[in-house]
Every structure is written in structure tokens, then in C-alpha cells.
Structure 1
Amino acid sequence: MRQETIDIAIVIVSWNVWDLLRACLHAIEDQTESTPNPQVRRFGPHGEATLRVVVVDNASQDATPSLLSHRFPWVQGLFLDENLGFTGGNNQGLRALGLLDGPVDEEAGLPRFVYFLNPDTEPLPGSLWALYRGIAGDPTIGAIGPQLRYGDGSLQSSRRRFPTRLTGFFESTWLERAWPDNPWARRYHVAEWSPQTRQDVDWLVGAALLVRGEALAAVGGFDEGFFMYSEELDLCWRIKAAGWRVVYDPAAVVIHYEGRSSEQVAARRHILFNRSKVRFYRKRFGPLWAELLRRYLLFEYRWQMALERLKWLLGHKRSLRQERIAAYRAVLEDGLEVED
């Protein structure tokens, strides 16, 4: 018997952020209604669309494994024995939904769309319906994302163009801090377009990204070579290469308390962010440009570590200097080597 098709399946990957995850799930609960099926909820002005939620927990040591099912019985919990990263966790969620590893079963009631949400997000009232309405009626759209805002309500940059060969040297580096208005970073962040208008973009920050199930089945989900960071860039690149559009829609607004999972391990964050950057360059521009970027990033970390040591010697915020020196040393010891 053919099962009921779900309109949106939300996949949330969590790691030791129970308080934030709980707030995220409450925000979803507040704009949905229960149904006779305990794991299916309805949303929309008249409850015309259906939704289910899968939380993939990456071996958290906090209250998540013990409290999730008790506090949110309508959520399907997948509790992993090890931390598979953001990409590995999301792909586990996609497997649970039947969208990876094998032919799509048309009788399985697969979701039409998958909404990847970070646990440190809170979708504002009406945002689920706004995103769904923004993509459901246009088969040319492969992915759509909301306007992101920080916890204080200020705008968070989330629209992007694909990087050029020079972008990686001028974005999220010392050069950007020294020259914040440089043309490569401005182009990358779509600075010339208003964030208050709906628009086609190359890719969107993955804290909140609604993707067509057909597109995910076609491109194969996330590349697990990106443990975290740049994974949504890579996914949107493949979605657009397969012929779909990526759209930014500010009619939907999501609060994003950025970095609450990754800030638990500062040195690891530096390593993973820059490894992913190098890995994408290798995929997009080839090994030569990836190696040039890798060497530049390592040079920058050596320079930054020298500055932090000088500040430590001068007695300026020594505990902060020690933390940064340790993080930068970890990056240099890692070397930012990536595999194909």
C-alpha cells in the first residue's frame, strides 16, 4: 500500500546543544498541528501541508539522548554511536527518509522536500509555510532558503555567489579584515543586492536550507568528505549543475544563534573550516589552486600566531592569547591536507 506523501521532512543534526535544540523544536511545534499519525504534523493557514522531523544526534554527552523522545514524542530520533559530522549526520537522516543509497521507492511516501535545519535555529512563525509556498509551485527551484537573523535580530549574511579562484584568499582571512570592502568578498556576499528582495543566488548558508527531494536523490546528498563547513556550498553547486535554481526568500525569517556546536572545540573549528575550503577548491579548481590556497592559509596562521605571541609578551589579555596560539598551532600541525 502506498504511504501518505510527506510535504516536508526536517532533518536536524545535533551535538551537545540540548537547550538550543529544544528551543528549535518548540518553534517548529508552535507553527504546526498534530495529526492521528504521531510522527506527522500539519502546517499552513488551513493545515494543508504535512511535516515530519528527524533529529540525528551525533553521540551527544548532554541531555539530548535521554530527553528528546520524552519531551518531543512526535520527533524521530536517530542516536549515533560516534560523531559523523554535519554531513554524515544529515546523510543518516536522508537514509532514514529513503532518499539515499539505492533506487527511490515510489510507494514509500517519501518527502517532497527536505528542510535542513541547524539545532541553533528558531524558525519564526509563518516561515515554514512561506518557504514551502516559495518552492512548491515552481519545479525549476531545487533549493530555497530564508533570511537569517542573529539572536539580537540583526541581519546575518546568508546569500552567496560561487567563489572565484581569488575569493578564498580574500574571504574569512586576514586580507578581508585588512580590506573588508574588497571586490572579491563583496561579490561573494552579493553585496550589491538588497537582502529584502527575493532573488536567485548561487548558494545559501546551510543553517536553514529547504531542498527538493528529487534534487537530493539526483545529486546524492552531502559529500561526507566535508565533515562540516562548505558542505552546503558543494551541495548547491551540484544542484545548480544538475539544472535547478537556488533561491533566497526573505518572506521567511529564521533566527540563527551561529556556531554554538562548533565553538565547543575552537581549534577543531579552525581546522575543519579551512580544510573544507581547500577541499572545495580542489574539487572546483583543481589541485594546483587548492595547494596555493592551502599554503597561503598556513602562512597566514604563522603570521597570526607571531602576532598573538607578541601581544602575550606585552601582557595583553594573556589567557585569550594562549587560547589563540594553541588553536593556530593546531592548524599548523594539521597542515590542512585534504583527500580527494
Structure 2
Amino acid sequence: MGVADLSDRSVLPLVSVIVVNYRGADDTITCLRALRDELDYPADRLEVLCVDNASGDDSVERIRAAAPDVRVIESDRNLGFAGGCNLAARNASGEVLAFLNNDARPDRAWVRAAVAVLRAEPTVGAVASKVLDWEGRHVDFVDGGLTWFGMGYKRHAGEVDDGSHDAARDVLFGTGSALFVRAELFAAVGGFDERFFMFYEDVDLGWRLNLRGWRVRYEPRSLTFHRHHASMAEVSSAREHYLLERNALAALYKNLSDETLARALPAAMALAVRRATARGEIDPTQLEITRRGEREDDSPVPIDRSALAGMLAIDQFVEMLPSLRRSREEEQQARVRTDADLVPLMRKAMEPAYPLPRYLAAHDALVEVFGLDEVFGRPRRIAVITGDTVSERMAGPAIRAWHMAEVLSAEHEVRLVSVNALVNPPEAGFAVVAAQPRELGAHVDWADIVVLQGHVLEMVPALKKAESRKIVVCDVYDPMHLELLEQGRDTDDERRAKDLIGVTNVLNAQLRRGDFFLCASERQRHFWLGHLASLGRLTPGLYDNDPTVRSLLSVVPFGLPSVPPRRTGPAIKGVRPGISADDKVVLWAGGVYSWFDPLTLLHAVHRLAERRADVRLFFLGMKHPNPDVPEMGMAEQTRALARRLGLTDKFVFFNESWVPYGERQNYLLDADCGVTTHFEHVETTFAFRTRVLDYLWSGLPVVTTDGDSFADLVRDERIGVVVPPEDPDALAAALEQVLYDEEFAAECRRRIDPVRERFTWESVLAPLTEFCRDPRPAADRLPASAPLVRTPRPGRVAAMRRDLALLREYFDAGGPVEVARRATGRLRRLAGERLRGR
């Protein structure tokens, strides 16, 4: 993603730069002057605020004298880094907050580069700057790591900056010494946690942003240089250890899920004690009962302050628990990402961090006893939910759901859940369960990601709510409302209209709720983009981040097994009475539904049979395996026409039951070509005929009616013949060519091979696989995702002129009545806004 062009000042947000001072006026003044003199960012789009944390010296006077254009805020007490930043943020006017240590200086492009990322990528909530030492030779911050026991650390700190860290990437957190955050988002999450005072408040903030679905993006072009001594000059190593230990436990407690916390917190507290005794070289056996023979007295035992720090940290962590509990409840309710989602951003979660022998032994023991490798490596949980029958005999929706579960189960823990009454699955490497609609809530709660089809969303009302944080993937490969236009022809007009409204509402609910959508073809994608646009899902922020919108809607067609079909037994030729081993078999691989045109096909076979006595047409399945799907009128029309033409059991054969999914290859391998015919209408335009994929899998030349996406494929790849709709003569000629022109049929089969490779399930499901590796809410569903640059409110004079112009326009359009009507509408809107703001 390229950085947006920010040459136009009108698209530049106001940036509020926040600097906290505590008895470091010299460094602070140097920093503020650099902000004034060195930045490549318009001065009128920059606001600089400096908080003095009750320094008690002449800092305020000196800063005001040296930087009169800086807004100085005096605190009545030392609020720490976190509290000082929050105080300034509450007084800032900018759409972006930039936090800069007072002992740092910015590079010329520091602000501009960070703003470009925020403008270009609306799912980025914060930008972590690259930080080098004061001379620019060594790394201070280029990436963040987090241990399982809650301690954040700067990866690669102290290393020579050799250019290997100049690629942007997502991180768990940025350093508070140089960090940009969307102002609205910072306020929404409560800013920095002031209980931390200093240390890990930046780790905690980044962790919380990521849990809520926002990204923290490291941007190396946003560069600063850090002395890294001034802020620590008056903090002893023991106090530093104390704050690090205490705040690590606080961050851990707030942000881990219940399941992970149950294992990690007791282990982390035990490890903190061992870290303290190892650091202070305390004899841990001095009170063992077996040492009673040694001289004992009640005199004090000396203890190193660095060892005492760890014990006091646990004590004060306990003191913080009542208030931390409320924060934890808020964070856990707001989270949309799992601990497993964030493990990659932790980089090396199992890193021990301290090279102390006794400590390392305890670390290994705790990891093993509490099973922490399992916890921090827990696979993501995905529920694939379908309303279709999952059994040996499966139709399209269940087949699609089955293979989604199969492919995803290679990396994740997957449940395939069916709400159909018939669930009797073949053997699988993933869980397959039946559920009543009322039982779906438990499966949704279990899952990190829910992949759903059809009417499933309607069965889980809680999932439809805007405040639901569950990641939802909607598989809209089946435009049900277009199908219903054809399928509903057999019902009365009133019911047909109501059914259509109902199905359209079902689809619209999915399109409003989903975080990621799957469709079956580029044609469908264009169709669904129109739907999404009409519902307001194609926001400017989404478009700016991804002009293709494939991060929201991607093509995932039906697929094929990667293993070629292997015959396991006879099926049609020499088995079905009336079909010999030498006959030419045309296979209709699928059901007979209202949107298909088998009638023209029967007329074509009737004409072809007059000159080719060995032609045979075989309908693979007349009765749908899902008992909830009634037989459509077209099926009986097909049987009736075949009887009237004298074709039944002579040239045309009907398999009334549905072929088991694991046996379909035997029927395909007995055929000489595959056929699909349909009418010319809207359903055809956006349909995806999955039976054609079975033809490709088995290497069958395809004869198809024009008008759908597969007709384009057959024509472009020259793997069969495309004919006009409802033209029996053209269809008969096409069948004759693929059945009896051996050279043509052989060339079709040769061309099918490379096409087939593109449609393996592993290949076609790649967009879903990639999304599930790093699932996030859709950009427009993130809380606090308002536009970064907003239109300024007009002043009083401008507003009065605008209102007078509108008054004149309304009066000219309809006189006093129109003016009164418009005024009433405006009052109602204002009242509604006030009510919503309460």
C-alpha cells in the first residue's frame, strides 16, 4: 500500500503533539524547538502541548519563555507519563495525538509519514515510530515483543541500525516515546492507564487496541532520535524493577482471556517471586525445617532492594485488583480478537527474558506444569455453520461447508455445525455436529470466527446486533433472492412477493453484519458490490485502504479435490439397464430445478437419437438429499416430456435418488461429456453451476448454455461448446461434436488439465484461509472509526448566511408551507440528535 499524497493541506488532519516534562526543562526546550523548526508539516495543522508534571522548579517559566507558541499545561501533582499524556489529550484539539518524549527529537518527516499511514489505512489505530539513539546509529525501537508473563520489551534494542528494520509491519505496541494515535480512538479506550504511572502503559495501550480489532503499524519513515536518559535520571533500578513487575501483572490481568489468564497469572506471579530471589541472590532454603540445627535468631535478614521490588510489586498488584477488575470487565467485553490472534505479534511469547540460572529453571518448570506452550499456541477456533444436510449424500451448500472445514482444519480447530435434521457425516478430520437453532449460541460462543451460509444468521439474533464483537464471515455464493424469482413461479403472487422480501431481508442482514464476504465468481462480486454500496458498507475509509475492496468481499468459487477421481466400482455403463458399455453417455450431474432448462435438452437428445442410436442422457439425481427442499415443478415436467417423446429408459434415464458424495466419481468416469442448460434470465447471469466443476474434475468436455460465468470459462479455455439458450438444434450439434469428434474431445480434455488445477479446494479457499490467519472486524465496524479529517463547523456568521440562503430556496420552491415543513423536519432531527447523545 503506497503512502497517500499529502501535498494538499485540505486533507491534512490537525495533529496535537504532546510532550510531558518533569524537571527536564533543557531537554524539553530542545524537543519543542525541534518541533517548531524541523518538521515538514504545516504549522497551522500542528498543535503542541507541554504538560509540566509539578516539577517544582523553574521549568514552566523557562519553557514558556523559550517556546511561547506552545500550550503549557500545569499539573498540580506528578501524574507520571501516563497521567500527563492523558491530561494533555483531554485538552487537545487535534484529530491525531502524537506523543513524544521530552528527551527526543523528531526527524523532518516524523509527523507527515505517520499521518500518511493513518490516512491510507483506516484500520490502523496507532502508528509506532522508528526510534534511534541520539546519534542515529543504534536501535531504540523498531519492534515490540511480549512475554507470556506480561513483560513487554524492545526487540533489537542496542543493535546497529543496518537498514534491516526499514519495512513497515504490524506490531503489538509502539513505544510511548514516539507514538501516534487517532484522537477519537484514544478517548474511546480511555487513553493510557494512569495506574501504571510509567512503564508498560504503551504496551497496555497497544495490546488493548489490537484486542479491539485495531492495528498498530510500525512506520520506519516516521523517525525520531532518543537520548533515553533524562526521564530515568531520578528513578533507581529497584523502583524500575518494581514498576515493571507490577505493571506487567496488571497488563496481563486486564488483557488476557479467562481461559489463558487461569493458567498464566499464577505462573507469572510465581515466576516474579523466583525472579526476585534469583536477582537478589537470596538463599531460598534458609527457612527449611531440615536446617533447624543451624544457629537461628530473630535478627533481620538483609535483602537486596531489587529483590524486594518483585515481592512488593505482587503486594501492590493485589491492592490494584479491585479497580483492575472493572477495567478487565470492560476490556473483555470490548475485545474482538483472541489471545491466539495476537501471539504472532508477541513475537516470542515463550522468551524467558532474564539469563539467571535458577530463574530459567523455574521458567521451564512453570511452562511445563501450567501447559503454557499449549495456551499461547492454542489454535484458532472456527465454526462453519450450514443449514444443509451433512451426510454421505450432500448437495452444494453442505459440500462447500464441508471443504471449508476440511481446509481450515489444517491450521485451526474447526467445527462443522448443521442445523438440518439429517446429519450423518462420513469420516472427517474435524468435528461435525448437529444442532437445533436454539443450540447455536453455544457454538458461536466457542468460536473465534463464525463462517455461515443461508438463513443461519437469523437463528442467532445476538450475532446480528451491531454491538456483537464476534468475527463473522458470510458465504453469499448463493444469491437466494434471484433463485426465488424462478423457484417461486410455482406459488401464488402474494406469497411469492412476501417470500422475496423475506429472503432479501435475510441477505441484507448478512451484508450489514459481516466482516468478510465470500462469493463464487467475478460476476457475483460485481453484483454483491452493488448491494454493499447501497447499504453504505463501501465507506471512503474502506476504499482508501483497499480500492479493490477485496479485503471485504473476495471470490471463493466452488472447488475440486486435489486428487484425481479414482473408480471404486461400476456406475452407469453396463450397469443401468438400457445403457451398454459402448454407448455415449451425456451426464446431467445435479438436481433438476426451476432455473434450469432440461426441456430443450430432451428435444436435442430426441433429434440426435434419430441419427445416433447409442446416445444416452443420464440425470444423476432427481430427489434432493435435503428433506427440507421440496421437488420443483421442473422435475415432473422433465419426466413428462421424456415420456411423451418416447425417450424414458431408452435414450433418457433418471436416477431418482441422490448419489453419495463419495461415489459420484464412478458416475462421472462413466460419462463421455457433461451438460448444463438453463434459461436466459437474471439468476443465470449471477449463478455458479457447481456441477461443471465435477465435469472438470473428471476431465469431461462440457456442453453448456450461454449466459453464466462458466459459459465464459468454457468458451475462453476451449474445453467444450457453448450454445444459445433454448436452441435444440444447436444443442444437438454440440453434443454430437463432443461425443463423436474424437480429436475435438481429446483436445478439450487436454485443455481441462491446467484449468482443473486452478479450482482445487486449497487454491480457491485461499482468501478465506488468509483471512482466518489474521481475522479482524471490517474497517467500518471498528468502534471510534470516524473520518480522520472532518469538515470544520461554520462560524456563526457563515451559518446564518447558509440558513438565509436555504430559507430563500425553500420559499421559492413552495412558499410558507414549504418553509414550515422544512423547519419542522429540522427540529425533529435536532431533537433526535440530542436524544442519541444522552
TM-score tier by shorter-chain length is 0.7 to 0.9
Residue range with higher mean Cα deviation, 124-133 or 72-81: 124-133
Equivalent in 108, 112, 115 of residue 98 of structure 2: 115
Specify which structure has the bigger relative contact order, considering alpha-carbon pairs within 8 angstroms and separated by 6 or more residues.
Answer: 1
Quote the Cα distance in structure 1 between the aligned partners of 2:46 and 2:173. 24
Post-superposition Cα deviations, 1:102-154, rounded to whole Å, max 9, x if no partner, equal: xxxxxxxx411100111011002222222222222321110002211112322
Residue 31 of structure 1, CA deviation? 2.9
Q: For residue 77 of structure 2, what is the aligned residue in structure 1?
A: 82
Residue pair 2:145, 2:153 contacting (<8 A) in 1 also: no
Q: For residue 276 of structure 1, what is the aligned residue in structure 2?
A: 247
Residue 326 of structure 1, CA deviation? 6.5
Residue pair 1:17, 1:62 contacting (<8 A) in 2 also: no
**Counterpart amino acid of 2:68?**
P
Post-superposition Cα deviations, 1:18-69, rounded to whole Å, max 9, x if no partner, equal: 111111111101135xxxxxxxxxx53xx38701011111111343112111
Task: Say whether residues 1:30 and 2:1 are aligned partners.
Answer: no
Residue 160 of structure 1, CA deviation? 3.9
Quote the Cα distance in structure 2 between the aligned partners of 1:259 and 1:226. 20
Quote the Cα distance in structure 2 between the aligned partners of 1:48 and 1:126. 13
Structure with the largest fraction of helix: 2
Residue pair 1:148, 1:254 contacting (<8 A) in 2 also: yes
Residue 155 of structure 1, CA deviation? 2.8
Residue pair 1:236, 1:246 contacting (<8 A) in 2 also: yes
Equivalent positions of 1:120-269 (< 5 A) are 120-161=103-144, 163-165=146-148, 168=151, 194-266=164-236, 267-269=238-240
Residue pair 1:279, 1:290 contacting (<8 A) in 2 also: no
Residue 157 of structure 1, CA deviation? 4.1
Residue 299 of structure 1, CA deviation? 1.8
Equivalent positions of 1:69-108 (< 5 A) are 69-97=64-92
Quote the Cα distance in structure 2 between the aligned partners of 1:334 and 1:69. 40
Instruction: Report SS of the residue matched to 2:135.
Output: coil
Q: For residue 52 of structure 2, what is the aligned residue in structure 1?
A: 57
Residue 6 of structure 1, CA deviation? 5.7
Q: For residue 7 of structure 1, what is the aligned residue in structure 2?
A: 14
Instruction: Report SS of the residue matched to 2:56.
Output: coil
Equivalent positions of 1:249-328 (< 5 A) are 249-266=219-236, 267-285=238-256, 286=261, 287-303=265-281, 327-328=305-306
Residue pair 1:301, 1:328 contacting (<8 A) in 2 also: yes
Residue 161 of structure 1, CA deviation? 4.8
Quote the Cα distance in structure 2 between the aligned partners of 1:258 and 1:228. 14
Q: 1:48 to 1:76 in 2, by over 3 A?
A: closer
Instruction: Report SS of the residue matched to 2:185.
Output: helix
**Counterpart amino acid of 1:57?**
D
Quote the Cα distance in structure 2 between the aligned partners of 1:326 and 1:65. 38
**Counterpart amino acid of 1:302?**
G
Quote the Cα distance in structure 2 between the aligned partners of 1:171 and 1:49. 36
Quote the Cα distance in structure 2 between the aligned partners of 1:235 and 1:139. 18
Residue 96 of structure 1, CA deviation? 1.5
**Counterpart amino acid of 1:273?**
L
Quote the Cα distance in structure 2 between the aligned partners of 1:326 and 1:131. 44
Instruction: Report SS of the residue matched to 2:122.
Output: coil
The two structures have a TM-score, normalised by structure 1, of 0.73
Equivalent residues, number: 276
Residue pair 2:176, 2:202 contacting (<8 A) in 1 also: yes
Residue pair 2:143, 2:218 contacting (<8 A) in 1 also: no
Post-superposition Cα deviations, 1:207-237, rounded to whole Å, max 9, x if no partner, equal: 1000011211221111112111110111011
**Counterpart amino acid of 1:132?**
V
The percentage of counterpart residues that share the same residue type is 29
Residue 164 of structure 1, CA deviation? 3.9
Instruction: Report SS of the residue matched to 1:203.
Output: coil
Q: 1:171 to 1:74 in 2, by over 3 A?
A: closer
Residue pair 1:144, 1:211 contacting (<8 A) in 2 also: yes
**Counterpart amino acid of 2:21?**
S
Residue range with higher mean Cα deviation, 228-237 or 55-64: 55-64
Q: 1:305 to 1:246 in 2, by over 3 A?
A: farther
Q: For residue 40 of structure 1, what is the aligned residue in structure 2?
A: none
Quote the Cα distance in structure 2 between the aligned partners of 1:305 and 1:25. 50
**Counterpart amino acid of 1:158?**
F
The two structures have a TM-score, normalised by structure 2, of 0.31
Residue pair 1:159, 1:205 contacting (<8 A) in 2 also: no
Residue pair 1:12, 1:56 contacting (<8 A) in 2 also: yes
Q: For residue 690 of structure 2, what is the aligned residue in structure 1?
A: none
Q: 1:48 to 1:14 in 2, by over 3 A?
A: closer
Q: 1:131 to 1:6 in 2, by over 3 A?
A: closer
Residue 78 of structure 1, CA deviation? 1.0
Instruction: Report SS of the residue matched to 1:272.
Output: helix
| Structure 1 gap segments, 5+ residues each | 33-42, 98-109, 173-184, 307-324
What is the Cα-based RMSD across aligned positions, in Å? 2.9
Quote the Cα distance in structure 1 between the aligned partners of 2:126 and 2:116. 12
**Counterpart amino acid of 1:196?**
D
Residue pair 2:15, 2:98 contacting (<8 A) in 1 also: yes
Residue 162 of structure 1, CA deviation? 5.3
**Counterpart amino acid of 2:245?**
N
Residue pair 2:105, 2:224 contacting (<8 A) in 1 also: yes
Q: For residue 36 of structure 1, what is the aligned residue in structure 2?
A: none
Q: 1:330 to 1:56 in 2, by over 3 A?
A: farther
Quote the Cα distance in structure 1 between the aligned partners of 2:91 and 2:178. 20
Residue pair 2:85, 2:192 contacting (<8 A) in 1 also: yes
Q: Which runs of 4+ in 1 moved over 3 A?
A: 159-162, 284-287, 332-336
**Counterpart amino acid of 1:232?**
D
Q: 1:305 to 1:218 in 2, by over 3 A?
A: farther
Quote the Cα distance in structure 2 between the aligned partners of 1:200 and 1:332. 32
**Counterpart amino acid of 2:250?**
R
Quote the Cα distance in structure 1 between the aligned partners of 2:62 and 2:35. 17
Q: For residue 178 of structure 1, what is the aligned residue in structure 2?
A: none
Q: For residue 723 of structure 2, what is the aligned residue in structure 1?
A: none
Structure with the largest fraction of strand: 1
Rg larger for: 2
**Counterpart amino acid of 1:245?**
R
Quote the Cα distance in structure 1 between the aligned partners of 2:113 and 2:274. 42
**Counterpart amino acid of 1:18?**
A
Instruction: Report SS of the residue matched to 2:217.
Output: strand
